């Protein structure tokens, strides 16, 4: 073989060996996608389809502290229309591990039922999100959600009543197209506006 041809062949082989790991590294780099939704402007991310009550226990004393567990909710996530959620559309299943609400003041009749005029609380929930379609494919994600809420029904005008909730959680343990995907969610609930995933961060590898 011509010496010059041999040198060129060896050089090209060396370059290829050096570039291969770099290409592999680039393909393996994580991709982060952040999607935000604005309450009152964008459609709600979730709508409750069904709620099955669990155990309910009132503590002694003032009788205004309520502990719940076992409540199971089936929630529509996004829709097949253009108003789909950040991950697409599907169904979310939420089981209450425990929730504690502290109320005070007179009992008033609200869209949430008979409720003390003022209150606040927090809860822990087991969440399974089943994505049936969308830009990232299909699959499931699981998480433990922690939520806080507060309300004020003291105004004589129901339009001024306030019930708000905030939560954050990281969906992991994905299956299907969501295997290896991590989704961090910051959410907001408003009695009048609905339930929103105000910030959804999708991390893929």
When pLDDT is cut at 50, 70 and 90, the band that residue 22 belongs to is very low
Mean pLDDT (the chain) is 85
Q: Is the pTM of this model over 0.85?
A: no
pLDDT tens, position by position, 70-90: 999 999 999 877 778 999 999
Average pLDDT over residues 30-57: 91
Query: Which helix H or strand E contains 7, and what residues bound it?
Result: helix 3-28
Residue 182 contacts by C-beta under 8 Å, 6 or more apart in sequence?
A: 170, 171, 172, 174, 202, 203
CA atoms of 130 and 139, how far apart (whole Å): 6
Alpha helices in 32-83 (DSSP H): none
User: For position 83, what pLDDT does the model report?
Assistant: 74
In the predicted structure, residue 48 carries a pLDDT above the cut 70: yes
In the predicted structure, residue 24 carries a pLDDT above the cut 50: no
Distance of CA 83 to the CA centre of its chain: 16
Inter-residue contact 142 to 171 (CB < 8 Å): yes
In the predicted structure, residue 125 carries a pLDDT above the cut 80: yes
Query: Which helix H or strand E contains 10, and what residues bound it?
Result: helix 3-28
């Amino acid at each position: 073989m011509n010496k010059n041809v041999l040198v060129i062949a060896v050089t090209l082989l060396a370059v290829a060996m050096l570039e291969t790991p770099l290409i592999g590294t680039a393909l393996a780099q994580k991709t982060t996608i952040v999607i935000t939704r604005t309450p009152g402007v964008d459609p709600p991310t979730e709508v409750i389809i069904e709620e099955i009550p669990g155990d309910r226990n009132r503590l002694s004393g003032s009788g205004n502290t309520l502990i719940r567990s076992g409540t199971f909710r089936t929630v529509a996530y996004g829709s097949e229309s253009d108003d789909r959620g950040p991950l697409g559309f599907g169904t979310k299943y939420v089981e209450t591990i425990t929730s504690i609400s502290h109320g005070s003041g007179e009992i008033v009749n609200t869209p949430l039922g008979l409720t003390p005029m003022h209150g606040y609380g927090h809860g822990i929930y087991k969440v399974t999100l089943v994505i049936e379609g969308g830009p990232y494919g299909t699959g499931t994600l699981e998480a433990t959600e922690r939520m806080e809420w507060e309300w004020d029904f003291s105004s004589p005008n129901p339009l001024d009543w306030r019930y708000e909730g905030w939560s954050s959680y990281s969906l992991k343990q994905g299956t299907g197209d969501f295997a290896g995907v991590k989704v961090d969610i910051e959410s907001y609930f408003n009695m009048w506006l609905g339930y929103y995933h105000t910030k959804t961060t999708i991390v893929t590898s």
